[in-house]
Structure 1
Amino acid sequence: MSATQRTPTTPPRVSFGIELEFLVAYIYEGEADPDEEIKDGLQPLVVVPRVETACSSPEPTSSRHDTNSRFNPHPQEWVKTQIRMALAKAGLPVAGATDGVVQESVQAGHSRDRMSAFHVVNDHTIDEVSIDGYHFQGVEINSPAMYSMDISFDMIRLAVSVLTTQFRCRVNPTCGFHVHVGVGPTQRIDTRTLRNFAALLWAADPLISRLHAPWRAIARYSQSGRVNELTELGKNHGPADVLLDTAPPSQDSEGVHRAEMTTVIPARDLKRVKYFSRDRQLGEPVEPNPDLDAFRAELDKDTVDDIAILKAEPWTHRPCVPAAQGSRSESPGEHDQFDYPRCNYTPPVPCPEAYGDYRASRLQSSAPSRPRPPPIQRRYPRIPGTMREDTRVDREFLAPYLAHHGYGDFVATPGVRQPPSRSDVMSGVRDLLGSDMTAAQVGDLMRNKYVAKHINYKFDGYSMYQVRRWRPDGVTPEYSGWGDMPGSYESKKENTIEFREAAGSLDATWITTWARICCRLLEWSRDADPAEYMCVIRLLAWAQEEEGAQYDVVDFLIDLGLIQEARVCEERLPNGDAAFWECMNVIPDPRALEAREWDEDWEYVESVEVEMTDAPPFEEEADDGKLAAAAAAAETDEDTP
């Protein structure tokens, strides 16, 4: 190969995996198909053999889940077995599948590897009431860990197609759709990329939230850190605050008040934190070095727990910069071509067709510049505003949209809102980009320390807690008794960031589109030029803080290079509830056994505690009249001096 020829290179692909939650309809053997008249035009219905066990009681218990347990096989396992069989017959690798897998084939080999197979598992947070004779079983499917390639998304499409053509499925507000993104099963996201990624998510959160159902940003299992005060970043804490804390001021012998600095973690853990995923000196690889000798050498450094350095500003980092080599040429002829720009310069490619309209727009004349002119024209008007109104105080919204069923846990019910102390964009970006000591600072700033899953972006795999459990090889965590044995499927998921805000869906186009968007967010955070990165951050801040700003999530996706995905989202957004509600929501009759009622204090109570024998027919008008009477009484109280 000649010296002038160069081999084209591409950046490493990011990895991803998805979790789909949905409900599968079934009936017991001997029960009639609720849609017998039109069943030829519907998907097959799962029929569970109704074989009662010897210890079954003649009367059903108060819980329908206990009723299901009277039969063998249990509906839960029977439904999962049918799904595994269907996926395997379609040629997909499925963990635990026996029928449909060709022995000694590539499919069989991947089915035995937990990271390369689809998993059909239980999820107790998914629930639904019985509808017109149908019973429903909640199911979660975990995809293999795959790299961001077209063939990977084709596998997702195939799996969703199998589900929607061979089973009667539905989704409701208790279902979610999660995406994990990372850089492979054995690598961790480097600190610089993680900083950029977290800052981008913080800045773009209100815009991205527009792609999802309105209840997801306030529901407990997917609530937004920009809406509720969930994270240290939302509490207005900085990168040093997550590692150190200030003790109450004390007095010395002369009566002078002094603030004593106390470490939240031991000094030896600070050294461990400094080693794993820390910023690298010039010339060092960006990957965490798993060499044990290098780890021990790092522990011997004395500056890693220096309080002055930890509490200093980010620019006090002192890398070993080598002396500059060479000097500027004394010949001016070599630089003549850069003296003045040519007036007759012609761009190498023609301008996009929409470039003239973009330049002429008066609304965009005062806006921050885009990284490049948009290559496509918008087909629909931009979404006004960025942050949705908080709907949790609207009783009419909560009653039908967040109907709570089943176990009684507060699965989808939002809690009382605690507004974050930090609401602006740029201060959060500043603190995240200033986390230059370790990736653990970013993880602790972005995670929910109280309940890990109660947030829309889960960064726990890069938190201080996770770093403490990491072994010196930098790859395997210590076993803590929760199913995360070193090298296991669960431990490898700790290398990822989880997107949890998407609502449950069985739309293959939307599922693959959102997965591509999640992958691109991480990829762009890693590869974007600093000037382009800050240009987009500035646009996001302008869109949220400037009234009438003309920049929305579709523009954001275009600036990330997601042209096809931007078109899909642009078509999706005008549909509103039709896009978010793929299936009709069902509110149980209050006289039903599994029903819950919404009381005067906005809390759920067990229906068995209510006298149901003389209850009137279930009518929404009754609630409306009660609300109207309450409103009239409130107005009367206000008028009374």
Structure 2
Amino acid sequence: MDNSTPKVPGPKRLTFGVELEFMVPWLYPEAEDPLADIEGLPPVLRVVNTPVTRSYEAENEVRDIIKKLLEKHGLKRDVRALRYSSAAEEAALARYANWEVTGDATVNEPLYDNKHEWVTKYGWVDVEIQSPVEPDIPVAFRIIQWVCGLLTSTYRMRVNPSCGLHVHVGRGAERFSLTEMRRISSLVWAAEPLLATLNDPARQGNRHTLALRDRSAMATGEPLALEHDAPPGPGDGQERASLCARYLAQDVRHGEQPVSWRYENRDEDQVLAFERTRRAGCWGPFYYDPDRENDDGEGREPVLPDDPDVDEPRKGESVLDAAIEARVAKAAEASGASWVVPGAFPPWEQVRERTIPRIRLPRRTAAQRQALAAQLAPYGCADPGPEVARRGADPGVWAGVALLQSCASSCEVAARMRTAGSRGTVDFGAYACDAVRAGRRPTIEFRGAEGVLGPWAATWAAICVGLVRFAVGAPPDEFLAVVDRCARAAPPDLLAYDAVDLLDDLALFAEAELAERRVRANRRRWGLEWVKREEGGGK
């Protein structure tokens, strides 16, 4: 008798990966190091195999040296902690199993418009290091921190305003369901201004990280560009062109196979059977078993739940309970105004002793935003600003949440969060129509942090993963309470609530303490202000 404990099915653990962007200075062996007298600096990288007449080719040698450094410490083969649960998952993720070293054309060091003269004495190579897909476990974040320490202690490196820290969050090879996408996008929308206070404000002037709250299609009021609504191309029937909205990007009900199953089972008869379960008044899960005979023994048909005689399918059924639907309706009527039903949530209580006062949410003018962008002009990544790119008025938290919770497919979520001309602080592009149909890497990319090669890299990665973890797993009342606190942190309510409080609510207590230290160290340089004690700011 087998007395082993059976494996309990459940949702897959979240996974993540990071992209570290930085610049590496280099010199030829005989060249003098202009910063050699500075104590504590690691050695400058010396290029020996690139001829002086072809110095522009030094990037290959520099990146190869960085690759060999990682390989020397086992980071090409021994660190990956993710175990594949199936051959399909291995096929999807194997290409992301190693540490990769490449370049990024958006990362650069301007030589002729730079306030540091010593910059012109070096050659510079742009480097981007991509971590493998790792599970959401503590050791994976410690590895990120260890790699940063290895890099900066071995060779001299520099991060400048053109560099970024990107964090991809997913669930292995599985795609987030529509319900999860609604929740993740709603929390990202609500929390974006708060989380921005934890990173250099110059990042908000970068054209590669546009603010969702004033540059997304939802903020500017631009018509949704949904590919599945467009006329089909030559040889492409409308049924196949709209496969994302009809099937792949639809929600997963309790008892149904995950989204990945649909990629292996998307014949037209299966899609049509699925659509029957999404008609109005039909709430049961979708099953498809062509090998099961009907009760009368005739033929092999899909096994479907009871289906009422309804002619028109319901587009984008709501999975919200009555309380959530009431809040969404009220938010739509309020046109973005902050509000709360009396007694809807218990009073908020601080769960951890803070070491800094609360951070006042910045409300920057157009001129201040343009000044942030001007700092990035020498690096070629300045946001063109309102005179070039359309900028909308922030519609507020609840108005945005109302639209996101009503999305009929995950590709509609991606379309509403899309920023025209470039990507936003959080990029949902992997869930756009073409990406869903092609089955591209199903991650959400957090792009709002500036380049960093210190402990904050691992901390910010943990924050991004923790935000998604809370969004998909928190009970509805706790989820809505956090969204409401984010909404009330802005005028006119000005609840004493900031990014540190948000991290505490997400149960990221260690990250909250590190965030306090980071804000304290950078507050004056970033132009942040404290909430005064009489305003409810506490210490």
- Number of the residue aligned with 1:415: 385
SS at match of 1:576: helix
2:434 to 427, 440, 465: 465
Shift of 1:552: 0.8
Cα pair 2:417 2:428 within 8 Å, conserved: yes
- Number of the residue aligned with 2:63: 80
Alpha-carbon spacing, 1:22–1:282, altered in 2? closer, same or farther (3 Å): closer
Alpha-carbon spacing, 1:88–1:320, altered in 2? closer, same or farther (3 Å): closer
- Matching residue's letter, 2:353: Q
Instruction: Find the aligned partners of 1:167 and 1:242 in 2 and give their Cα distance.
Output: 47
- Give per-residue Cα distances to partners, 1:574-607, cap 9 Å, x unaligned: 32367779xxxxxxxxxxxxxxxxxxxxxxxxxx
Instruction: Find the aligned partners of 1:90 and 1:221 in 2 and give their Cα distance.
Output: 33
- Number of the residue aligned with 1:502: 449
Shift of 1:296: 2.7
Instruction: Find the aligned partners of 2:509 and 2:107 in 1 and give their Cα distance.
Output: 34
- Matching residue's letter, 1:187: E
1:193 correspondence with 2:180: yes
Cα pair 2:101 2:128 within 8 Å, conserved: yes
Instruction: Find the aligned partners of 2:250 and 2:368 in 1 and give their Cα distance.
Output: 41
Cα pair 2:248 2:263 within 8 Å, conserved: no
Cα pair 1:272 1:299 within 8 Å, conserved: no
SS at match of 1:465: helix
Instruction: Find the aligned partners of 1:403 and 1:239 in 2 and give their Cα distance.
Output: 31
- Matching residue's letter, 1:234: A
SS at match of 1:136: strand
Shift of 1:283: 3.0
Shift of 1:512: 0.8
- Matching residue's letter, 1:555: D
2:458 to 497, 512, 517: 512
Instruction: Find the aligned partners of 1:305 and 1:9 in 2 and give their Cα distance.
Output: 24
> Percent identity among equivalent residues?
29
Cα pair 1:43 1:166 within 8 Å, conserved: yes
- Matching residue's letter, 1:380: I
- Number of the residue aligned with 2:47: 48
Cα pair 2:168 2:445 within 8 Å, conserved: yes
- Number of the residue aligned with 1:358: none
Shift of 1:31: 1.0
SS at match of 1:138: strand
Cα pair 2:198 2:519 within 8 Å, conserved: yes
Cα pair 1:218 1:227 within 8 Å, conserved: no
Instruction: Find the aligned partners of 1:367 and 1:567 in 2 and give their Cα distance.
Output: 31
- Give per-residue Cα distances to partners, 1:305-358, cap 9 Å, x unaligned: 99xx8xxxxxx56423989xxxxxxxxxxxxxxxxxxxxxxxxxxxxxxxxxxx
Cα pair 1:242 1:441 within 8 Å, conserved: no
Q: TM-score, normalised by structure 2?
A: 0.73
- Matching residue's letter, 1:411: C
- Matching residue's letter, 1:507: G
Alpha-carbon spacing, 1:529–1:153, altered in 2? closer, same or farther (3 Å): same
Cα pair 1:215 1:391 within 8 Å, conserved: no
- Give per-residue Cα distances to partners, 1:39-74, cap 9 Å, x unaligned: 6x4212111127547xx5xxxxxxxxxx633xxxx2
Shift of 1:467: 2.8
Instruction: Find the aligned partners of 1:557 and 1:373 in 2 and give their Cα distance.
Output: 14
Instruction: Find the aligned partners of 1:280 and 1:426 in 2 and give their Cα distance.
Output: 25
Instruction: Find the aligned partners of 1:93 and 1:162 in 2 and give their Cα distance.
Output: 14
Alpha-carbon spacing, 1:393–1:441, altered in 2? closer, same or farther (3 Å): closer
Residues 85-94 or 527-536, more deviating: 85-94
Cα pair 1:174 1:412 within 8 Å, conserved: no
Cα pair 1:126 1:174 within 8 Å, conserved: yes
- Number of the residue aligned with 1:560: 506
Alpha-carbon spacing, 1:454–1:290, altered in 2? closer, same or farther (3 Å): closer
Instruction: Find the aligned partners of 2:255 and 2:281 in 1 and give their Cα distance.
Output: 16
- Give per-residue Cα distances to partners, 1:513-550, cap 9 Å, x unaligned: 11001111111111110111111111111112434321
- Matching residue's letter, 1:428: G
- Give per-residue Cα distances to partners, 1:13-54, cap 9 Å, x unaligned: 210000011111111232112133446x4212111127547x
Q: How many residues align?
A: 444
- Matching residue's letter, 1:90: H
Instruction: Find the aligned partners of 2:398 and 2:41 in 1 and give their Cα distance.
Output: 52
- Number of the residue aligned with 1:430: 402
Cα pair 2:21 2:126 within 8 Å, conserved: yes
1:205 correspondence with 2:205: no
- Number of the residue aligned with 2:75: 92
- Counting helix residues as a fraction of each chain, which structure ranks higher? 2
Cα pair 2:210 2:423 within 8 Å, conserved: yes
Alpha-carbon spacing, 1:286–1:389, altered in 2? closer, same or farther (3 Å): farther
Alpha-carbon spacing, 1:550–1:6, altered in 2? closer, same or farther (3 Å): farther
SS at match of 1:170: coil
Alpha-carbon spacing, 1:90–1:504, altered in 2? closer, same or farther (3 Å): same
Alpha-carbon spacing, 1:293–1:424, altered in 2? closer, same or farther (3 Å): closer
1:234 to 199, 206, 219: 219
Instruction: Find the aligned partners of 2:397 and 2:358 in 1 and give their Cα distance.
Output: 21
Alpha-carbon spacing, 1:501–1:193, altered in 2? closer, same or farther (3 Å): same
CA RMSD of aligned residues (A): 3.7
Shift of 1:303: 5.8
SS at match of 1:376: coil
1:568-583 paired onto structure 2 within 5 Å: 568-576=514-522
- Matching residue's letter, 2:165: F
Cα pair 2:17 2:130 within 8 Å, conserved: yes
1:290-301 paired onto structure 2 within 5 Å: 290=262, 292=264, 295-300=267-272
- Number of the residue aligned with 2:161: 173
Instruction: Find the aligned partners of 1:157 and 1:193 in 2 and give their Cα distance.
Output: 29
1:116 correspondence with 2:97: yes
Instruction: Find the aligned partners of 1:30 and 1:467 in 2 and give their Cα distance.
Output: 53
Instruction: Find the aligned partners of 1:113 and 1:195 in 2 and give their Cα distance.
Output: 29
- Give per-residue Cα distances to partners, 1:424-482, cap 9 Å, x unaligned: 111110111112x322121221123x44x4311111111112234x3xxxxxx4xxxxx
Cα pair 1:18 1:180 within 8 Å, conserved: yes
SS at match of 1:216: helix
SS at match of 1:193: helix
Alpha-carbon spacing, 1:544–1:197, altered in 2? closer, same or farther (3 Å): same
Alpha-carbon spacing, 1:402–1:218, altered in 2? closer, same or farther (3 Å): closer
Unpaired segments ≥5 residues, structure 1? 57-66, 96-111, 246-264, 310-315, 324-365, 471-476, 478-490, 582-641
Shift of 1:173: 0.6
Shift of 1:169: 0.9
Residues 275-284 or 189-198, more deviating: 275-284
Instruction: Find the aligned partners of 1:135 and 1:302 in 2 and give their Cα distance.
Output: 58
SS at match of 2:17: strand
Alpha-carbon spacing, 1:299–1:539, altered in 2? closer, same or farther (3 Å): same
SS at match of 2:25: strand
- Give per-residue Cα distances to partners, 1:383-434, cap 9 Å, x unaligned: 1235444455655x555x32514xxxx4234433533255211111011111
- Number of the residue aligned with 2:283: 319
Larger relative contact order (CA 8 Å, sep ≥ 6): 2
Shift of 1:181: 0.3
